[in-house]
Amino acid sequence: MIVEVGHYALVLAFALSLVLSVIPIWGVVARDGVLMGTARPVALVMAALVAVSFVALTAAYVTSDFSVVNVVQNSHSAKPLVYKISGVWSNHEGSMLLWVLILAVFAAAVAVRGSGMPQRLLAGVLGAQGAVAAAFLAFILVTSNPFARLSPAPFEGQGLNPLLQDPGLAIHPPLLYLGYVGFSIAFSFAVGALIEGRIDAVWARFVRPWTLVAWIFLTLGISMGSYWAYYELGWGGWWFWDPVENASLMPWLAGTALLHSTVVMEKRDALKVWTILLSILTFSLSLIGTFLVRSGVLTSVHAFATDPTRGTFILAILIIFIGGSLALFAWRAPMLRQGGIFAPVSREGALVLNNLFLAASCATVFVGTLYPLALEAVTGWLDPANPAKISVGAPFFNLTFLPLAIPLLLAVPFGQSLAWKRGDLLGVAQRLVTAGVLAVLVTVAVLAVTWGGPVAAPLGIGLGAWLILGSLTEIVTRSRPAGGFFASGNLGKALSRAAGLPRSAWGTALAHAGIGLTVIGIAATAWGVERIVTMKPGETVDLGGYQVRLDGVAPRNGPDYRETVARLVVLDGSKVLGTLEPGKRIFAARNMPTSEAGLLTVGLGQVYASVAEIESDGRAGLRLYWKPLVLLIWLGSVVMALGGGLSLLDRRVRLGAPVRSRAPAAVPAE
């Protein structure tokens, strides 16, 4: 019964999404306030209905209702509760439902917070959001119904794919989708503005918080996914340039560019047309990512061809929305009034440079991901017997992406310190001298200490130090009291000045420093140590200054799996630092072995162990790694997200917040 209620709610939500995508926009065109007024209530009810549907599916999972096909295929009665819940979005149907739920909730959030927005813009935005919802609800109902029943109901489910039975899975997809789908708001704002034919700094002020929210979630989602792959896949890689990862990196790069261009638009009323285009492109890349992952086209072109229903459906959605919005853009954008003049050397100019490099690096990822598919399709069409098949992997991306990323990172502290309208490059350089000299000193010192090791690592660490110090320079400069820091009583004055700086200034500094941390973590991977060994119990091996001893091998049982673990002790001389228990697991429901890495954090580095083979005589084939500073890779991204959060709390950004000076930050903006 609950399952049918969920299905029915989904159908009703689809009907409402059609209403939402037609009536309010009709109102905009006909200048009818009543029609436009329907947007808010309809968006709210639609979100509630999708939520009901999602809760119904979750209930089926929690109660292990094996009369539902989806539950049978992805759940098992012995599964811990948290994995029963996360199992809802571990599969195609459920994750599409989560996708639409987030889309609808974002629309509802705009409806709730939109009281201060011009009615025409609000109606346009919600209308566009409704159209996207309609397309994906239709997709679910037609091709991917999660509520399909099965008769007779089996006694037990097939269990969740063991790799996905992990806390990482519970958090990663929702975060990623909040980011992906969050950019739909920027898209809808762009479409709304194009329909209305008006765009100004106020538009940017409305759209910026939503872009920030989406960016924060996407940053955390990508980072979480990277950490999950790191500990789950058994050899400690953290980024693979896999098409699926690229699918989430592309909207991130475009979204980061968008975040920066909306600042220019908000402050200086410039870059309007570009910002609109970027809003469209960012969400288009999210859609393309969804298509790549969902259609099966990545596994192989043939997998797509054998079951093309879903792929073709999403492809149609892609063409309609990307094509439609770009056509709307081509038609209406020339009518938008250009504003804001600036000199090439200025904050605006620097942000244009930022956008240029981010767009180029995004294009690199795009071409690298899709070129093999395009080449195979084109050559296969010309000569069906002999299509050209190539692979594009990490070596390609390292050669093309890094040359674009490094100059951008080097320029970040300059851009941050330049003044609006007309900047003084020489003055900025003078202010950054201290940071620059310190960064060079760090590089030289690290190079000297690690002489004979890889050269790229000290250079990378220098770049990271430059980003961190350069970002903080802005804060230091702006809080410098007249007379310098060291005149009597001035230190306190400087501190209170620093505390009084806008939160967005701190947010920018923090986010940029976060990139610096990540860069340092990445650079330090060059110092990693790897040992591939077969060990007898009692044997000890050296690992990057530490020692690892195998104490023994033992079987162990979990709730729905059996496991063989190798017990390892990590030593620093005679001091025991901790134990590791990497293992091999066999899940009862799927009889498939997985490896569980053992991790021991030492400072910011980690000792990482995974089991390759356990032999009958008690010997264990092991892969051991020492990964210095590796945690910085993910900590850096958390710091970036925190920086984004601080910007979100800035008084200017908070939508509809009462303008009270010194207002406590109790209610964070959405």
Partner 1 sequence: MTVRAPRRLPALLLAAVLGAASLAPAFAVQPDEILADPKLEGRARQLSAELRCLVCQNQSIDDSDAPLARDLRLVVRDKLKSGASDQEVRDFLVARYGEFVLLKPSFSGKNLILWLAPFAVLLAGGALVWTNARKRAVLAGASAPLTAEEQAELDKVLRKEG
Footprint of partner 1 on 543-602 (CB under 8 A): 593-595
**Of the candidates 129, 248, 279, 471, which one interacts with partner 1 according to CB under 8 A?**
248
Least separation in angstroms between residue 546's CB and partner 1 is 20
391 in contact with partner 1 (CB under 8 A) = yes
**Of the candidates 64, 67, 379, 490, which one interacts with partner 1 according to CB under 8 A?**
379
Cis omega before residue 152 (within 30°)? Answer: yes
381 in contact with partner 1 (CB under 8 A) = no
Locate 107 and state its tokens: 């629309």
10 Å CB burial of residue 283 (0-12, 13-18, 19+) is buried
Binders of partner 1 in range 302-321 (CB under 8 A): 303, 307
Kindly list the distances between the CA atom of residue 93 and the CA atoms of 146, 305, 372, 656, in Å, as whole numbers in the listed order. 5, 20, 28, 37
Task: Pick between residue 492 and residue 538 the one whose CB is nearest to partner 1.
Answer: 538
Task: Pick between residue 186 and residue 597 the one whose CB is nearest to partner 1.
Answer: 597
Least separation in angstroms between residue 457's CB and partner 1 is 17
**Other C-beta atoms within 10 Å of 239: how many?**
17
Task: Pick between residue 21 and residue 400 the one whose CB is nearest to partner 1.
Answer: 400
**Other C-beta atoms within 10 Å of 453: how many?**
13
Give the C-alpha separation, 597 to 582, whole Å: 5
First to last CA, the chain: 35
Binders of partner 1 in range 357-376 (CB under 8 A): 357, 359-361, 363-364, 367-368, 371, 375
Task: Pick between residue 130 and residue 372 the one whose CB is nearest to partner 1.
Answer: 372
Least separation in angstroms between residue 582's CB and partner 1 is 11
Least separation in angstroms between residue 278's CB and partner 1 is 12
Q: Provide the 8-state DSSP code for 335.
A: G
Least separation in angstroms between residue 193's CB and partner 1 is 20
Binders of partner 1 in range 225-244 (CB under 8 A): 225-226, 228-229, 232-235, 237, 240-244
10 Å CB burial of residue 306 (0-12, 13-18, 19+) is exposed
Binders of partner 1 in range 136-175 (CB under 8 A): 150, 154-156, 158, 161, 163-164, 169, 172-173
Task: Pick between residue 171 and residue 328 the one whose CB is nearest to partner 1.
Answer: 171
Give the C-alpha separation, 106 to 492, whole Å: 43
Give the C-alpha separation, 556 to 68, whole Å: 33
Stretch that binds partner 1, among 194-202, 400-408, 409-417, 493-501 (CB under 8 A): 400-408
Least separation in angstroms between residue 240's CB and partner 1 is 4
Binders of partner 1 in range 175-214 (CB under 8 A): 176
532 in contact with partner 1 (CB under 8 A) = yes
Task: Pick between residue 335 and residue 394 the one whose CB is nearest to partner 1.
Answer: 394
Least separation in angstroms between residue 341's CB and partner 1 is 4
Give the C-alpha separation, 515 to 201, whole Å: 28
Q: What φ, ψ does residue 623 adopt, rounded to 5°?
A: -115, 120
Which pairing describes strands 598-602 and 575-580: parallel, antiparallel, or unpaired? unpaired
Contact of 506 with 646, CB cutoff 8 Å: yes
Write the single-letter amino acid at 118: P
Least separation in angstroms between residue 645's CB and partner 1 is 22
Binders of partner 1 in range 339-358 (CB under 8 A): 341, 344, 352, 356-357
Number of residues engaging partner 1 in binding (CB under 8 A): 83
**Of the candidates 11, 30, 399, 455, which one interacts with partner 1 according to CB under 8 A?**
399
Binders of partner 1 in range 3-22 (CB under 8 A): none
Task: Pick between residue 424 and residue 530 the one whose CB is nearest to partner 1.
Answer: 530
Task: Pick between residue 364 and residue 443 the one whose CB is nearest to partner 1.
Answer: 364
Kindly list the distances between the CA atom of residue 390 and the CA atoms of 108, 376, 385, 434, 510, in Å, as whole numbers in the listed order. 45, 8, 16, 48, 41
Give the C-alpha separation, 415 to 429, whole Å: 11
335 in contact with partner 1 (CB under 8 A) = no
Least separation in angstroms between residue 525's CB and partner 1 is 13
Contact of 618 with 553, CB cutoff 8 Å: yes
| Closest to 218 (Cα-Cα) out of 245, 250, 180 | 180
**Other C-beta atoms within 10 Å of 591: how many?**
9
Binders of partner 1 in range 91-110 (CB under 8 A): 91-92, 95
Stretch that binds partner 1, among 385-393, 443-451, 474-482, 542-550 (CB under 8 A): 385-393
Task: Pick between residue 330 and residue 441 the one whose CB is nearest to partner 1.
Answer: 330
Task: Pick between residue 7 and residue 92 the one whose CB is nearest to partner 1.
Answer: 92
| Closest to 523 (Cα-Cα) out of 435, 412, 413, 604 | 604
**Of the candidates 347, 567, 623, 627, which one interacts with partner 1 according to CB under 8 A?**
623
Kindly list the distances between the CA atom of residue 48 and the CA atoms of 12, 42, 86, 141, 661, in Å, as whole numbers in the listed order. 11, 10, 21, 17, 36
Least separation in angstroms between residue 294's CB and partner 1 is 7
C-alpha 474 chain-centroid distance: 27
Give the C-alpha separation, 630 to 522, whole Å: 7
615 in contact with partner 1 (CB under 8 A) = no
Least separation in angstroms between residue 558's CB and partner 1 is 16
Stretch that binds partner 1, among 260-268, 318-326, 389-397, 483-491 (CB under 8 A): 389-397
| Closest to 123 (Cα-Cα) out of 37, 185, 58 | 37
394 in contact with partner 1 (CB under 8 A) = yes
**Of the candidates 50, 72, 108, 285, which one interacts with partner 1 according to CB under 8 A?**
72
Locate 386 and state its tokens: 């002999």
Least separation in angstroms between residue 626's CB and partner 1 is 17
* C-alpha dihedral, 430 to 435 to 436 to 439, nearest 10°: 170
Least separation in angstroms between residue 552's CB and partner 1 is 19
**Other C-beta atoms within 10 Å of 198: how many?**
16
Least separation in angstroms between residue 234's CB and partner 1 is 4
* C-alpha dihedral, 631 to 405 to 515 to 393, nearest 10°: -30
